[in-house]
Structure 1
């Protein structure tokens, strides 16, 4: 849904670049691809890419660079793939991988349990029941509350997109991932239930917050991609220009 909302808010230049990289694949498809690839047995997916889906903030309400573990996290992954997508010398395959991960990571950072405190694996260890079915808190926020509406992702994305006002698009145009994380942490503190048997009451209580995060994520994916494609940066050429810059006369 976040990818589908983003698709509607791309600039013309960004849309052309996305189509150049993905062909007929849209951002909704690209958004889920890094999760789809988690079953690939290759070391890249099982070891290197695994930490790029979340951040851990053990103390305070804001992400600090010191929070990133040696293996990396969603913030380091976002920085890596942003650099790749902005590098004019990067290959099409590398840019395609980067684009898919950027769309996915931005969506993940708007899910409150992807900004975890580090003691329950982002709510995966919080066991509960959802309408009588055993599950966990992370799964409830990842999918169960969305699927409970019995709408396709495109139907709900259309509904949410039509509810976004021009003023909100302007107000939400914040490309700083630390802002997204602060918002997710604030929401995360409010969603742990006291009763582990969840159903209509919990869904009603948190539906507006869930919709809000989906809408924010979609708008920010688009804003982030619009910025990237409007401001490409060939790092190799930049270094070459610096190396051949004539010395100033004294």
Structure 2
């Protein structure tokens, strides 16, 4: 039994970071859908067709099982940043890139009228995903514990790691579907919240996540109801802010971008 527990713990620590589980990413995408401008909504529809942002939000994680080198190596670092201080600096980005360099690259693609349609679709899906990632505090790590993946804990008695608790444990513990959870959160987003959170600078999102990250490491690794109660409101707010900011960012991107149809003709 001891060997089995140790094996389970080692597997949990080795689990790659995904940043919000599927439910969390779908929530941010669904909230974003509700806050798109008419112009952004039209561009998203031209690029994705019937695929909404809730579906697009999980796509970069869904593709991690694709054996292609692009997904196994090139795209792997684009889900997180490592911040050595309290403020992200360009020098923090490794040679292979990170979420910030990827966001800049995909933004340029989405605004380029000459970019092929498939490249724009890839860019849009990644932008939605990356913004959600940057609002999960352990995807803005200090570089000393793999974003909490190396912090072994138990969650209601089951061995796991702190990153997994924040990706999915705290969200799934509510026993809500993503649509139910979205409805609950959306009802609590006031107009003044949308105005206050209308922040397109990713450096601000990262600063917020770092400040929160510093408060979430437990002194007792046995996590259950107390930990869930302490951090439930923080999880909810990061999901709400992430969704509002995905919309704010896309509204800005498409303000000056050429219509997506210009790429579709190529």
Superposed pair shares fold, TM > 0.5? yes
Aligned-partner SS, 1:135: strand
Whichever of the two has the greater Rg, that structure is 1
Give the aligned partner of residue 247 of structure 1.
Answer: none
Equivalence map 1:120-159=2 (5 Å) = 120-159=145-184
Q: Deviations along 1:206-230, whole A, 9 cap, x unmatched?
A: 0111111000000000000001111
The answer on 1:89 being equivalent to 2:111 is no
RMSD after superposition: 0.9
Give the aligned partner of residue 21 of structure 2.
Answer: none
Q: For the residues of structure 1 that align with 2:129 and 2:196, how far apart are their CA atoms?
A: 22
Give the aligned partner of residue 43 of structure 2.
Answer: 17
Among 37, 45, 48, the residue aligned to 2:63 = 37
Q: For the residues of structure 2 that align with 1:92 and 1:161, how far apart are their CA atoms?
A: 32
Among 19, 23, 28, the residue aligned to 2:54 = 28
Give the paired residue count: 233
Q: For the residues of structure 2 that align with 1:99 and 1:40, how far apart are their CA atoms?
A: 19
The answer on 1:52 being equivalent to 2:78 is yes
Q: For the residues of structure 1 that align with 2:232 and 2:174, how far apart are their CA atoms?
A: 10
Deviation at 1:233?
6.2
The answer on 1:100 being equivalent to 2:133 is no
Q: For the residues of structure 2 that align with 1:40 and 1:134, how far apart are their CA atoms?
A: 28
Q: For the residues of structure 2 that align with 1:11 and 1:184, how far apart are their CA atoms?
A: 26
Aligned-partner SS, 2:250: helix
Detail structure 1 runs of 4+ shifted over 3 Å in the superposition. Answer: none
Structure 2, unpaired ranges of 5+: 1-26, 260-266
Q: For the residues of structure 1 that align with 2:35 and 2:88, how far apart are their CA atoms?
A: 27
The answer on 1:3 being equivalent to 2:29 is yes
Aligned-partner SS, 2:198: coil
Give the aligned partner of residue 175 of structure 1.
Answer: 200
Among 205, 214, 224, the residue aligned to 2:249 = 224
The answer on 1:76 being equivalent to 2:85 is no
Deviation at 1:196?
0.6
Q: For the residues of structure 1 that align with 2:101 and 2:205, how far apart are their CA atoms?
A: 15
Structure 1, unpaired ranges of 5+: 235-250
Deviation at 1:22?
0.7
Q: For the residues of structure 2 that align with 1:133 and 1:19, how far apart are their CA atoms?
A: 42
Q: For the residues of structure 1 that align with 2:253 and 2:61, how far apart are their CA atoms?
A: 23
Q: For the residues of structure 1 that align with 2:142 and 2:86, how far apart are their CA atoms?
A: 10
Among 94, 118, 123, the residue aligned to 2:143 = 118
Q: For the residues of structure 2 that align with 1:128 and 1:24, how far apart are their CA atoms?
A: 40
Deviation at 1:158?
1.0
Aligned-partner SS, 1:78: helix
